[in-house]
Structure 1
Amino acid sequence: MGDIGNRNNRKKKKKKNVNKKDSSFKVSVVATLIILLLVAAVGGIYAYNYYKPNEEMVALDEYMNVPAGTAVIMKDGQRYHEDALIEYGKPYISLLMAKELFEENFYYDENERLVVFAMPEYVVYAEVSDSEEENSIYEDESEVELSSPAAIDRAGTVYLSAEFVSRYASFKYDYYENPGRLVFTYDYEVSYLMAMPNEGEIALREKADWKSRIVRKIGTSEKLMVVNGGAMENGYINVMTEDGVTGFVKKSEVTSDYQKFESDYVAPDYYKTQPDYYVNLVFNAMSYKEGNDGAADLLKYADGVTTISPTWFRLTGNEGDITSFADSSYVDTMHAKGVDVWGLVSNFEESVDTTKILSSTSTRKKLIAKLIDEAKRVGMDGINVDFETLATECGPHYIEFIRELSASCRRNSLVLSVDNYVPAAYNAFMDCEEQGKVVDYVIIMAYDEHYAGSEEAGSVSSIGYVENGIKDMAEMVPKDKIICAIPFYTRLWKITDGVLSSEALSMRSAEETVSANDATYVWDEETAQNYAEYSKDGSDYKIWLEDADSIEEKVVAIANANIAGVAAWRLGFEKSSIWTVIKEGIK
């Protein structure tokens, strides 16, 4: 009995232990399931939160961060690096910014506090204003009233109203407040890549990321300008709203296509006042009024000449005055021969400070008025400007003078031509490209390759100098506005004990000098000129001749370049036979 009892007790204990293990296992399984469920729930919540687009809105003021009293400038979907100024409730941009943004030629006269802008037939003047009531500008003498001052000065910086700038530049603008946005769009036919939501509202976000904040909700009727050519980032494209707010939208939520914007804008037409012939011009140098006498005999042998440019006008003093040798009977005589007259104005007087004259708006106006009055008085057909040895700092003032003179010439049906050196780095400030936009002819003075002050003897005008001058000018100026001037003179170079000197000789004098010294000339292929040298009285002499052979080479090169014409400096230095060479060469 005792053993049986013990066995039963052991069985009970074993069963009890088994029951305990089963219970522990069940608890463990339940706990594990709960943990897994919790992990799954947490993971699901995390995944939901992670993949759920951010719905937080960002205030436009915070997003754009526009300082008070200013407006961001938006152009082509990009925020410009400089902000506009808000004055009198209107947007203003700095003068420098206006030039940079629109490449328009707003000129500022600091001394006279004037902003000047030359149009094809008139010049615009806007005074820098000190009060809101001073809101008029002048187109020549005609007053135009704007809604606010055209130009203001703030802390030494000149600002132009967007209204004023847009009146003369090829763009439109819209101004939006809170925060300030000044949106520029080009005012001519142009195609922009535009996008519109496919359906419903879509989010415009700060960044190309669904977790970034929403700047604005975009409706189906809103058009978006696509920026950066529609390049995608994380499935988003960069866009700008019509009121100048930029951000990112999902590419899959919009349809984009190029849209052409029509415009009724008419660009300023700097039309040409050119004659309908190939120009064959000769300069007629004179130092006094009596030089007009005998005009009938001046072109006795100059068959084929279409235009003559007498050196009639000289700047005198620094107040915009000129001396004039202009004579109506001279013009009448030339017209009777079928020859046009372009009076030349020069700045060769030593007492003249060309920079001082041209940097003053009132002085420029006075000078231009005098030239136009003289042109009308004697019946001239055009004006030729020959300003040389200008200082680099004169560059912008010189170009402004040319622009303003072009407006007066165009309005009075006068041809405007401007003499220029062969293009080089040292004279780049004369801006032949800008000249080519507003004048009728840019004349290349393809001579003085070697001049009185040269350190070595050489040709006055080698064939390479002529050809390269035309080629370089044609990169800046349309060919139908280029005239190439060649010399009727050369230089006799003298070397004595290593010291170089020279003198200018006409064609006939050069030929006689070579003959008188029994020198023999040979053809120089490099310069396309006849060359001679000789020794006399302890000095060595060298000369590169300008004659029928060299002129023919130059004229043929000019004709082959398909430019507007040929010119020559100067009448009286040539041999009479040269005119036949030129006439035949330009056929």
Structure 2
Amino acid sequence: MPTEHQPRRRKSLKRLLILFIIILIGLFSGLAFFLWQHFAPNRLHVETDYHELKKPVFYHGDYFRASAIGEKESLKLPLELIQEWIDPSILYEKASDSVIITTQDKVLRFKTAELSALMNEKPINLSFPVEKKDNVIYVPIEPLKQLYPYDIRESEKSGAIIIHKQGDTLKWGKQMNADGAQVRTEATIKAPIVASLALNEQVMILSEEAEWYKVQMESGPIGYVRKADIAQDHEETIPVQDEISAYVPWKPPGGKLNMTWEHVITKNPDTSKIGDMPGLHVISPTWFSLSDGEGRVKNLADAAYVKWAQDRGYQVWPIISNGFEPDRTSQALSTYDRRIEIIKQLLGFAQTYKLQGFNIDFENVYLKDKENLVQFVREMTPFMHAQGLAVSIDVTPKSTNEMWSMFYDRPALAKVVDYMMVMAYDEYWASSPKSGSVSSLAWTEKSVTQLLNVDKIPPNKLVLGVPFYTRQWTEEVKGGKTTVSSKTLTMEAAQKIIKDKKLKPAFSPEAGQNYVEYKEGEKLMRIWLEDETSMKSRIELVNKYDLAGVASWRRGFEQPNIWKVIQDTLEKNN
């Protein structure tokens, strides 16, 4: 017969069975949750990041923060988009309410809300104007398509705009899953869905990540699709339209440019007294300068001088200077109308005097006018090139001086001009508190390498500016302090002092040039010489770094034999 312990035992077994079932249910529930968590796809649909934009614009898998407006032929893109993605140099000038575009051979000016524009100062008609809406400037795509190497496509389904650059290769894929495929925000099935793909729908494959493709639909949405759902279909290369420019840059015989500046203050030199200058290609007289802030240009040109130069095979590229006047410069560069006034006058002078180029020499400029100087050069160069004129610009070596060095945007300027002359002199300037070389060799080389290595100026555009002058320094001790003064000397004047004082120059390794000193009473007189030795060293730098050539300041300060030194050294490696 049963004992009293049997009911208790049955109850214990029942409890264990229930506990086991609960544990089993828990395990199955956990397993189901785990499997759902890791293998069940997310069914949540979310809006795209750009869903608030009525007409989003895409480029290389990214979208712009502002919408386009219009459609088809009337489509317009935000100016900020063009500046960021297509052309950072395109400019909106508030003073004239104009958009200004400069290319290699064109300058276009579009005034807001006007259907007439100017291309190289000639009127053209637009189908749709530049528009200002809610403080955003919109530019019609009509001129953009003509000026820039970009392909602009508009989705008929969504109105989204996708931009491609000419030469881009697009990889297209096709959705092959009969049940459809989802475009997700991340490369996982747990990510939300931004769009669905129909069977055979094509997408651009932007990249791949493990078992996923990052794609963009023709209607705009960007996201991730499983590789298993996409078959690679074909590649498309956006056709490149070759730019045809009428301007063919002039190249000096022998390859390396040999230029000199002619200093004209009020009267041009008597050319009958100018000796032979073998090897010279270009002469640049200081003829033109800003006379006021409205853009009027002062003219010292001389047709007889041009004929003399060209009869001897020299090209004439006169200087256009700002007169070292920062206020005048700031005003003259401040608007398109003033800048174009300068340019028109120079074009007229070029025709009148049969010039072959210009040399821009703007110095002592406010840092705030840095961008306006670049804009002036961008606007000037296409006009000059259209007439076959070379454009060059003078820059100082790099320094921390705002008004003499920092206002030059050298990389931007170098993209536009034919030549950039680095004025590698005045290391120790006329009023320097310490005496020293006008241009020691180490300092000169550093001036060159900084532009090549830091600013990435192409060596085939960089011209080394060299001095034909030196300085006679006077050091005098007064009240226990040394005072320094200087006087500019031509090469000939320095050699006369050496001869008269019976001095013997010694080579200074620190300066890389010859040096003399002597006493006049208690005064110490010092001269770092510019001569054959220093000139040969400088031209060897041109060859060492394969620079475009040499430019000398200034004609008349040299000894006659210097021209042969320059010519022979330039030609040594050619």
TM bucket (normalised to shorter chain) is 0.7 to 0.9
Q: Is 1:83 aligned to residue 66 of structure 2?
A: yes
Query: In structure 2, do the counterparts of structure 1 residues 398 and 257 end up closer, same or farther at CA, with 3 Å as the change threshold?
Result: farther
Q: Is 1:458 aligned to residue 443 of structure 2?
A: no
- Structure 1 alignment gaps of length 5 or more: 1-13
Distance 2:443 2:26 in 1: 86
Q: Is 1:444 aligned to residue 422 of structure 2?
A: yes
Mapping of 1:23-422 within 5 angstroms? 53-54=40-41, 56=43, 58=45, 62-64=47-49, 66-67=51-52, 70-80=54-64, 82-84=65-67, 86=69, 93-129=77-113, 134-152=114-132, 154-155=134-135, 157-161=136-140, 164-176=143-155, 181-186=160-165, 188-200=166-178, 201-227=180-206, 229-232=207-210, 235-255=211-231, 259-267=235-243, 272-277=248-253, 278-288=256-266, 290-292=267-269, 294-298=270-274, 300-348=275-323, 350=325, 353-422=328-397
- Report deviation, 1:57: 6.1
- Report deviation, 1:508: 1.1
- Report deviation, 1:545: 0.6
Query: In structure 2, do the counterparts of structure 1 residues 422 and 306 end up closer, same or farther at CA, with 3 Å as the change threshold?
Result: same
Which one-letter code corresponds to 2:565 in the other structure? Answer: V
Q: Secondary structure at the match of 1:586?
A: helix
| Per-residue deviation, residues 154-200 of structure 1 (Å, max 9, x unmatched) | 33x544445554543332333458977432222x1123455433443
| Per-residue deviation, residues 189-235 of structure 1 (Å, max 9, x unmatched) | 123455433443322123333234433222453343344x4233xx4
| Per-residue deviation, residues 235-288 of structure 1 (Å, max 9, x unmatched) | 434322222201221233334599351313335759552234232111111112
Distance 2:294 2:217 in 1: 53
- Report deviation, 1:547: 0.9
Distance 2:359 2:503 in 1: 40
Query: In structure 2, do the counterparts of structure 1 residues 573 and 35 end up closer, same or farther at CA, with 3 Å as the change threshold?
Result: closer
- Report deviation, 1:77: 1.0
Paired positions, count: 558
Question: 2:484: which partner in 1?
Answer: 500
- Structure 2 alignment gaps of length 5 or more: none
Distance 1:359 1:454 in 2: 33
Seq. identity, %: 24
- Report deviation, 1:517: 4.1
Which one-letter code corresponds to 1:183 in the other structure? Answer: I
Distance 2:16 2:265 in 1: 119
- Report deviation, 1:114: 1.4
Distance 1:580 1:431 in 2: 35
Which one-letter code corresponds to 1:386 in the other structure? Answer: D
- The root-mean-square deviation of aligned C-alpha atoms, in Å, is 3.5
Distance 2:56 2:431 in 1: 55
Distance 1:219 1:500 in 2: 84
Distance 2:31 2:449 in 1: 74
- Report deviation, 1:478: 2.3
Distance 1:480 1:58 in 2: 57
Question: 1:11: which partner in 2?
Answer: none
Aligned partners of 1:207 and 1:248 also within 8 Å:
yes
Distance 2:373 2:204 in 1: 41
- Report deviation, 1:373: 0.5
Q: Secondary structure at the match of 1:249?
A: strand
| Per-residue deviation, residues 467-513 of structure 1 (Å, max 9, x unmatched) | 23333333433222222121110111222332222121111112223
Larger Rg: 1
Distance 1:356 1:466 in 2: 33
- Report deviation, 1:539: 2.5
**Deviating more after overlay: 466-475 vs 544-553:** 466-475
Distance 1:558 1:455 in 2: 31
